[in-house]
Amino acid sequence: MTRRAIWWIRRDFRLDDNPALVRAVQANALLPVYIHSDAEEGAWPLGGAQRWWLARSLTAFASSLENVGSRLTILQGEAAKTLVDLARQFDVDEVVWNRRFEPAALAQERRVEAALDALQISWKAFCGNHLFDPEEVATKEGRPYQVYTPFARNVRARPAPAQPKPAPKTLPSVDGAPNGVALESLQLEPRIDWAAGFREQWIPGEGAALVRLRKFTSGALADYPTGRDQPSIDGSSLLSPHLAFGEIGIRRVWHTALQSKISSPTSTDKFLAELLWRDFATHVLYHFPSTDLKPLRAEYARFPWRNDREALRAWQRGQTGYPLVDAGMRQLWATGWMHNRVRMVVASFLVKHLLLPWQEGAKWFWDTLVDADLASNSLGWQWAAGSGADAAPYFRIFNPTSQAEKFDADAAYIRRWVPELARVPNQLVHAPFDAPPLALRAAGITLGLDYPHAIVEHTKARERALAALTAVGKKGATA
């Protein structure tokens, strides 16, 4: 007797370590389906950088399926209706998928479940892209966590994440599977080719993700606690976009790091803590679904944000006059990615120095990051603003100059992304606004002409930010 299944592929473009696929291959006729539906992404349809990545990820994944005797069907439309139509057409016994936990994706999933239940079609959903299901982690009182440390303590006390299951060597096919739509019809590619830097930096797809993991765990992982904070070196894993698109399994990453032969327990543990931070972000968004656009801490709803489009534009373009901030924003525009240390600095600069709403930063990152993940993006920006989860009770104001001096001492990162400052000596390059004009001219720089004046002065911006914090009833401190 033929048992037919649909594998509904969402953000899990991989064959390795895929719980939904492990279930799906129990059928002897399998239809892998990707359904593109911008309308069901709610307030957060894919940004431009994500669309660029998705086009290449789908291409790579379709090739992987062909290599194991299957074929990817790409469709457009409302997921529940599309899956019901397919289930009827192919007399399907079961539909399987890996869950997403963003608010709009959860609503989509509930519609799918209801539609399948109405037809009495079996379905099974898995937590395939996170280490721990956010529904299953709670405080002793049964409430969701809002602070990372006790969350991490809770999940670390649990049994270790399951060992990843390897990719199947073959997949059962379905006779007469629909052709679907051409990838080009999704119009994912930019009309103007702004992605040259993306192509130089990234190779989307499962194969590239696994190569990246092996390179990291046999190299940079050994120095991860310090290397991850230096933006001029390749000290981080660079796995975030592959994880965001499900091109690599989180359990595969976890266990490969644990098995690294060159890493110390301290280095490995620090990296695993970052993987748990990703789970924590999902936990927070799942339980507080409005935090993508609204502050978790209610008092921040009355924060006196400014409306300054000119300052926002200067920040977006990397023209603030603060070299580390500008380097980060230019790296983001050129490559679709920004070093994590610099992300914290540029985020702090927007919300603290400029007093511009964190939602503006979240929207800009969403459109420009190839690794944009709604949970991590929301948590990160609310952390920077002081309005969200985690144990950050004080108003933190990063000094972009001292951050640059500490983490980019020789200005290699700054000089790469702000090349007009290449000839400025180390003792001046981190704060050109404080440099003698003659010294800058000797390096080919006239402020306001070759490089912008600082759009705000740090001490005054700090005082203004602390005053704004007082307005919402908080005490301030710097970090």
| pLDDT tens by residue, 160-173 | 999 999 999 999 98
Q: Is residue 332 part of a domain?
A: yes
Residue 208 and residue 201: Cα distance in Å, rounded?
Answer: 12
User: Is 84 in the same domain as 212?
Assistant: no
Residue 381 and residue 315: Cα distance in Å, rounded?
Answer: 15
Residue 151 and residue 138: Cα distance in Å, rounded?
Answer: 8
Does the pLDDT at position 478 exceed 50?
no
* Confidence at residue 390, expressed as pLDDT on a 0 to 100 scale: 77
Task: Kindly state the average pLDDT of the residues 391-400.
Answer: 72
pLDDT digits (tens, 9 = 90+) for 267-304: 999 999 999 999 999 999 999 999 999 999 988 999 99
Q: Is residue 86 part of a domain?
A: yes
Task: Kindly state the average pLDDT of the residues 450-472.
Answer: 93
* Confidence at residue 469, expressed as pLDDT on a 0 to 100 scale: 84
Task: Kindly state the average pLDDT of the residues 18-41.
Answer: 96
User: Is 11 in the same domain as 81?
Assistant: yes
pLDDT digits (tens, 9 = 90+) for 15-26: 999 999 999 999
**CATH number for the domain that contains residue 356:** 1.10.579.10
Residue 74, domain extent: 4-129
* Confidence at residue 475, expressed as pLDDT on a 0 to 100 scale: 46
Pairing of strands 122-126, 29-36: unpaired
pLDDT digits (tens, 9 = 90+) for 203-256: 999 999 999 999 999 999 999 999 999 999 999 999 999 999 999 999 999 999
User: Is 111 in the same domain as 139?
Assistant: no
Q: Is residue 185 part of a domain?
A: no
- pLDDT interval class at 474 (50, 70, 90): low
* Lookup result for tokens 């010294």: 439
The pTM of this model reads 0.96
Task: Kindly state the average pLDDT of the residues 320-341.
Answer: 98
3-state secondary structure the chain: CCCEEEEEECCCCCCCCCHHHHHHCCCCEEEEEEEECHHHHCCCCCCHHHHHHHHHHHHHHHHHHHHCCCCCEEEECCHHHHHHHHHHHCCCCEEEEECCCCHHHHHHHHHHHHHHHHCCCEEEEECCCCCCCHHHCCCCCCCCCCCHHHHHHHHHCCCCCCCCCCCCCCCCCCCCCCCCCCHHHHCCCCCCCCCHHHHHHCCCCHHHHHHHHHHHHCCHHHHHHHHCCCCCCCCCCCCHHHHHCCCCCHHHHHHHHHCCCCCCHHHHHHHHHHHHHHHHHHHHHHHCHHHHCCCCCHHHHHCCCCCCHHHHHHHHHCCCCCHHHHHHHHHHHHHCCCCHHHHHHHHHHHHHHCCCCHHHHHHHHHHHCCCCCHHHHHHHHHHHHCCCCCCCCCECCCCHHHHHHHHCCCCHHHHHHCHHHCCCCHHHHCCHHHCCHHHHHHCCCCECCCECCCCCCHHHHHHHHHHHHHHCCCCECCC
Kindly list the catalytic residues.
274, 277, 305, 340, 358, 381
Q: How many Cβ atoms sit within 10 Å of the Cβ of residue 393? A: 12
Amino acid, single-letter form, for residue 471: A
User: Is 268 in the same domain as 373?
Assistant: no
**CATH number for the domain that contains residue 108:** 3.40.50.620
Task: Choose one of 129, 148, 178: the last residue of a domain.
Answer: 129
User: Is 122 in the same domain as 136?
Assistant: no
Q: Is residue 478 part of a domain?
A: no
How does the average pLDDT of the chain come out, rounded? 95
Q: Is residue 453 part of a domain?
A: yes
Residue 468 and residue 476: Cα distance in Å, rounded?
Answer: 10
Share above pLDDT 70 across residues of the chain, in percent, rounded to a whole number: 97
Let me know how long the chain is. 479
Q: Is residue 339 part of a domain?
A: yes
Does the pLDDT at position 177 exceed 90?
no
- pLDDT interval class at 392 (50, 70, 90): low
**CATH number for the domain that contains residue 137:** 1.25.40.80
- Residue 387 tokens read as 């309005």
* Confidence at residue 477, expressed as pLDDT on a 0 to 100 scale: 41
User: Is 244 in the same domain as 374?
Assistant: no
Residue 279 and residue 264: Cα distance in Å, rounded?
Answer: 23
User: Is 145 in the same domain as 245?
Assistant: yes
Does the pLDDT at position 393 exceed 90?
no
User: Is 146 in the same domain as 108?
Assistant: no
Q: Is residue 378 part of a domain?
A: yes
Task: Kindly state the average pLDDT of the residues 248-266.
Answer: 96
User: Is 330 in the same domain as 432?
Assistant: yes
* Confidence at residue 1, expressed as pLDDT on a 0 to 100 scale: 64
Does the pLDDT at position 31 exceed 60?
yes
* Confidence at residue 176, expressed as pLDDT on a 0 to 100 scale: 84
Does the pLDDT at position 329 exceed 90?
yes
Amino acid, single-letter form, for residue 325: V
CA geometry: angle at 463 spanning 462 and 465, to 5°? Answer: 65
Residue 45 and residue 42: Cα distance in Å, rounded?
Answer: 7
Task: Kindly state the average pLDDT of the residues 307-335.
Answer: 98
Does the pLDDT at position 471 exceed 90?
no
User: Is 344 in the same domain as 415?
Assistant: yes
Domain count, the chain: 3
Q: Is residue 292 part of a domain?
A: no
Task: Choose one of 265, 287, 309: the last residue of a domain.
Answer: 287
Cα dihedral across residues 230, 351, 450, 445: positive or negative: negative
User: Is 228 in the same domain as 257?
Assistant: yes
Residue 458 and residue 399: Cα distance in Å, rounded?
Answer: 7
Task: Choose one of 287, 321, 356: the last residue of a domain.
Answer: 287
User: Is 147 in the same domain as 257?
Assistant: yes
- Residue 454 tokens read as 């600082």
